Structure 1
């Protein structure tokens, strides 16, 4: 069931519905566009009038979570007993006076009823395909019945689950022209942000793992981390992992970002940052959005320039890693030896 959005004007409880989802939520009841709260007297008797009144009086947002609602009359096919999540956020004029409430609500009665939830509970989330996992995530965020269609379109547009999570919020929201935003080819700002939150949580978990011990002792985790954050990026990025004397990670920073096929990297900026961090070693990293898994001539020349400058400062450049498609390629392994100019031990 879709989320409903409305504006509550004044103490007379006149709702101005921003979308049409209220019809699915509560039925027509002869209402078009606007509704008075007294059209649902049974809800007022169950305490629903108290929340907006409190929001008006205090000027603070009031939340009702999983609030039981028993309707006297509902159209065929709609449940009379429901659970609703509703928030009432004060709207103010130029003088700061509360003039209305922004109302955001959704029916949470069916949470736990999606068929994929039973499979996930019995067999585990790893039993779900990428499309099913994304479907379940979108469903829990919106309770929309077209979550599967949205998931299918997202995977088709961005190529993979990693591509979906790597996409920018604007690109996730602009899946369709403005007049088609109600279709499955669009995401709300909150849903798009929620996908980015999922990606960031995963990135931080991996980051903690590589930061907890010497980087070279966990090279597989390091590659998984770099692949996770760069494989789906639409533009080239150049990053540096700055390490201490024990080869533990000080910080991983993006120092340059370019087009789909080129990034301008300045040797002096890399070395300046290494000195600021008192780094003893570095690992250079960049990606090829095209998926090409070979270092270009300019990539190699840039690496050699940084190695030469770092040698003069007694800073070791351990490797240059390239994230391309499903691969993480090592320049050291490609060359069959350390970067040129690297100090011997």
Structure 2
């Protein structure tokens, strides 16, 4: 790799493209001298801890940026939360054009590390007794997905997690579920039970009639092989709906 001589000007991006610092000036007024004016209004309401954490990521990934705090506030306002920013990075920085690769990769790595830590915590305890740990994990993996996903958490006879399997994904309001495939994977893992999970991108976690019908079909198919459906959890709008807790299982 050729090193740039000290004092030489930084190369300009090709016409129509933005360098990392220019990307972050989207949506901001630019004062004389090129300084970014910090955002006002809803941005000021973003959580301080999240903003500080995100600003640190931005500073590390894009050290040339002169206003990481203002940028962090703006991204939090655009995507609602730090988790929303992580999810947006996974979607290629949707909502603000192409993100700087360094920041996007850093956020993806941090998000995956967080998921792995939460999964490790789940494996150390019985799944149905994990409560908040399970809910936090499910929010991390699917709360900000734009289409419906179906996941199945397979457990052993003592309800310890064997595997979290992404069974399929569909559209904004539907994802296909095949009871035969759910049971087949359970037999491969020698699972004693399972928890169905899916998300509602609409934000309303209440089950539809088709959700309840699908659950009953999986229960019937699993029962043939002495597998128990312990719960069906729906994630949406920052909330969790448990069919088991609501007496709908």
TM-score, normalised via structure 2 length: 0.78
Distance 1:128 1:142 in 2: 20
Deviation at 1:250, TM superposition (A): 0.4
For structure 2, the 5+ residue unaligned runs are 14-46
Distance 1:263 1:7 in 2: 50
1:141 aligns with 61
Distance 2:198 2:225 in 1: 23
For structure 1, the 5+ residue unaligned runs are 1-5, 21-126, 177-185, 340-345
Report whether the alignment pairs 1:258 with 2:159: no
> Where do residues 285-324 of structure 1 align in structure 2 (5 Å cutoff)?
285-324=197-236
Deviation at 1:17, TM superposition (A): 4.9
Report whether the alignment pairs 1:171 with 2:98: no
2:49 aligns with 129
2:192 aligns with 280
Distance 1:170 1:275 in 2: 33
- Is contact 1:7–1:18 with CA below 8 Å preserved after alignment? no
State which structure, 1 or 2, has the greater radius of gyration over its C-alpha atoms. Answer: 1
4+ residue runs of structure 1 moved beyond 3 angstroms?
6-9, 15-20
- Is contact 1:239–1:254 with CA below 8 Å preserved after alignment? yes
Higher percent of residues as strand: 1
Is the alpha carbon distance of 1:218 and 1:169 closer, same or farther for their aligned partners in structure 2, counting shifts above 3 Å?
closer
Deviation at 1:140, TM superposition (A): 2.2
Distance 2:95 2:208 in 1: 33
Larger relative contact order, structure 1 or 2 (CA cutoff 8 Å, min sep 6): 2
The total of aligned residue pairs comes to 214
Deviation at 1:128, TM superposition (A): 3.8
Distance 1:169 1:225 in 2: 17
TM-score, normalised via structure 1 length: 0.57
